[in-house]
Amino acid sequence: MSALLSQGIDLMLSGMFTVFLFLCLLIVSINTFAYLLKEKTNHLPSSFVKKDNVIGNDHLKIIKAIGVRIQNEK
């Protein structure tokens, strides 16, 4: 294998390694902050959480509506 090819493979290995490591660290960071912030908002009354679900359903409707529009666009 030529030196150039071997350098390319080195680049690929270190590149993919870094990309995965980076995004995994990002996952860890996201999950950590999600957990920490959840902790803090856990004291909210359950009625608030329910309301949240209702919003969730609205959200779903919106997503579907967007989807339909996109489909029509294409």
Partner 1 sequence: MNFLDIVSSFGIFSITLPQAIMLIVGLLLLYLAINKKFEPLLLLPIGFGAILTNIPEIGLSLSPIERLIYENKTEDIQILTSMLGLEVAQLSEYLKAASYLELSNINSLSIDIGYKPGILYTFYNVAIGSGVAPLLIFMGVGAMTDFGPLLANPKTLILGAAAQFGIFATVIGALLLDHYGVISFTLKQAAATGIIGGADGPTAIYVSSILAPELLGAIAVAAYSYMALVPLIQPPIMRALTTDKERVIEMVQLREVSQKEKIIFPISLLLIVGLLLPSAAPLLGMLCLGNLMKESLVVERLSEVAQNSLINIVTIFLGLSVGSKLAADKFLTPETLGILLLGIVAFAIGTASGILVAKLMNVLSKNKVNPLIGAAGVSAVPMAARVANKVGLEYNSQNYLLMHAMGPNIAGVIGSAVAAGVMIKFLA
> Measured over all CA atoms, what is the biggest interatomic distance in the chain, rounded to whole angstroms?
67
Using rule CB under 8 A, residue 5 touches partner 1 = yes
What residue type is 65 in one-letter code? A
Q: Which is nearer to partner 1, 34 or 43 (CB)?
A: 34
The residue type of 18 is T
Segment 13 to 32, residues that bind partner 1, using CB under 8 A: 13-27, 29-31
Q: Residue 44: helix, strand or coil by DSSP?
A: coil
Residues in the chain: 74
**Chain contacts with partner 1 (rule: CB under 8 A):** 2, 4-5, 7-27, 29-31, 33-34, 37, 41, 52, 55-56, 59-60, 63-64, 66-67, 70-71, 74
